[in-house]
Chain A
């Protein structure tokens, strides 16, 4: 009796996901390998030699990498501060990190249009101080990178606070009682033990930046990134074949990064376990 129940209970959700996620995605991916009823990889060969497309791929990867690095560099010390501070301040800072995370990405990207625009805050400041005339800051890849860092930094911070909170006080106290200095504790204990979490956070930020649409759509210029290129082909140019190829590449890159980083995090977690045990 129970056996039937448990399957009946998961069946609707399972069917929903199969019908409206797995089948549509499989359809998109499969369509890129079939032409006139035959298996082919010509679509991929063609675009892998197209400098325009390769440039889009490269720009998107570079932007995602910079975003991930900057988020880690800014996020790590901030998370360290939050995890070590007194409970009331910690609560406040966590709420202030979660708030932007829950706020609409349209609102958050728009805020950078106000700052970076031709008569925006930054340009007004630069002209007022006589440093430079109005600069073309908005609608550039740099604007996209700033917008993405702003978008994903809270995610970095929150993931890292979670990891640092999990590092046992016993370990750091043991080190302290044996005479280790604060800086030694940070570099020798906290940093190595945080690396798996740093990698988890990096996966989220990298894949998120690689596939983000709203920020490049609002802040980006002529130069496209892969998500806006997919949208343009699907909706403006009606080239669904190319859009499907781009979609497949996005899935492959995302899943490769997730797989690689998870594998690396596991490896390091084992070492970290040995270190503390």
Chain B
């Protein structure tokens, strides 16, 4: 019994450590003073309004949205067919190919970012925007492939065979039979990849230039110069977005996606 109480106390303290800091910025975002305080002396919503006054935040928010959405579309175009083929067919070195498609998560982001900078912007002289799109597509690809593959693993391919043997075309079967069955996996893959890209710093930090930057990089720059509650207010909005997406992913996949190794 004493052990039980000890363990419960320990777990409670761990969660206070994990969530306390996030609660503190949430509280500090409502402070009135122009320096971040906790607890605040007076309360105000003006820093939420200030997010929209700082021009950089709106612009980089747009860039982040465009890059994450467009990159997602590309990652899906590359990843969906690959995930399907790797689940459906037998290959020589199949396990190796599966690992290869997941491998971008193993490469340190800062190393990939620097290498892409050298290669795409300098060697090929492409604009920074192109490097941002390409880099984000690459980091989203493994999440798309992994989530869709695990969804396909529980799909019974004999249904597909049945449709084909009844005279349906291969492509028609894919769109009318396979796709509707793995809809949840595709949607969840898109959301997980979106969060991964939208929050990315390691890669984007190399791909900023005149007029081009993403929201997380803009936030880093802002924090280096100002210490007012604007970033706290923006953080609260981002946490709300994260919470909404998390519940959507939980609805689509269940929590087991996160706990299985």
Which A residues are in CB contact (< 8 Å) with B8? 81
Contact check, B118 vs A163: say whether CB atoms are below 8 A apart: no
Q: Is B44 an interface residue (CB 8 A)?
A: no
Q: A6-B88, A114-B36 are in contact. Are A231 and B108 (CB under 8 A)?
A: no
CB distance from B222 to the nearest CB of A (A): 10
Contact check, A21 vs B21: say whether CB atoms are below 8 A apart: no
Binds A, one of B22-30, B55-63, B177-185: B22-30
Which A residues are in CB contact (< 8 Å) with B65? none
> Can you list the 3 inter-chain pairs with the closest CB atoms, starting with the nearest?
A111-B21, A211-B108, A9-B85
CB distance from A187 to the nearest CB of B (A): 12
Bitwise, A67-108 to B at CB < 8 A (1) or not (0) is: 000000010011011100000000101111111111111111
Complex: how many Å from CA A74 to CA B79?
A: 37
Bitwise, A146-182 to B at CB < 8 A (1) or not (0) is: 0000100110011101110100000000000000001
Contact check, B85 vs A10: say whether CB atoms are below 8 A apart: yes
The one of A25, A104, A124, A234 that contacts B216, using a Cβ cutoff of 8 Å: A104
Contact check, B78 vs A12: say whether CB atoms are below 8 A apart: yes
The one of B22, B114, B145 that contacts A243, using a Cβ cutoff of 8 Å: B114
Residues of A within 8 A of B (CB): 2, 5-6, 8-10, 12-14, 16-17, 20-21, 23-25, 27-28, 74, 77-78, 80-82, 91, 93-108, 110-115, 117, 119-121, 124, 150, 153-154, 157-159, 161-163, 165, 182-183, 197, 200, 207, 210-211, 213-214, 217-218, 227, 230-231, 234-235, 240, 243-244, 247, 250-251, 254-255, 258
Q: Is B157 an interface residue (CB 8 A)?
A: no
Contact check, A102 vs B261: say whether CB atoms are below 8 A apart: no
Contact check, A121 vs B38: say whether CB atoms are below 8 A apart: yes
Total of A-B residue pairs, C-beta within 8 Å: 250
Most chain B beta carbons < 10 A, residue from A159, A210, A247: A247
Contact check, B84 vs A95: say whether CB atoms are below 8 A apart: no
Contact check, B109 vs A12: say whether CB atoms are below 8 A apart: no
Contact check, A121 vs B24: say whether CB atoms are below 8 A apart: yes
- Of residues 9 through 45 on chain B, the ones whose CB sits less than 8 Å from some CB of chain A are 10-11, 14-15, 17-19, 21-22, 24-25, 28, 35-38
Contact check, A96 vs B110: say whether CB atoms are below 8 A apart: no
Contact check, B111 vs A250: say whether CB atoms are below 8 A apart: yes
Complex: how many Å from CA A250 to CA B112?
A: 11
Contact check, A9 vs B84: say whether CB atoms are below 8 A apart: yes
The one of A6, A104, A107 that contacts B91, using a Cβ cutoff of 8 Å: A6
Most chain B beta carbons < 10 A, residue from A102, A162, A163, A217: A102
Q: A100-B19, A107-B239 are in contact. Are A247 and B111 (CB under 8 A)?
A: yes
Bitwise, B108-146 to A at CB < 8 A (1) or not (0) is: 111110111111100100000000001101100100010
CB distance from B132 to the nearest CB of A (A): 12
CB distance from B63 to the nearest CB of A (A): 15
Complex: how many Å from CA A23 to CA B19?
A: 41
Bitwise, B227-241 to A at CB < 8 A (1) or not (0) is: 100011001001100
- Of residues 93 through 110 on chain B, the ones whose CB sits less than 8 Å from some CB of chain A are 97, 100-101, 103-104, 106-110
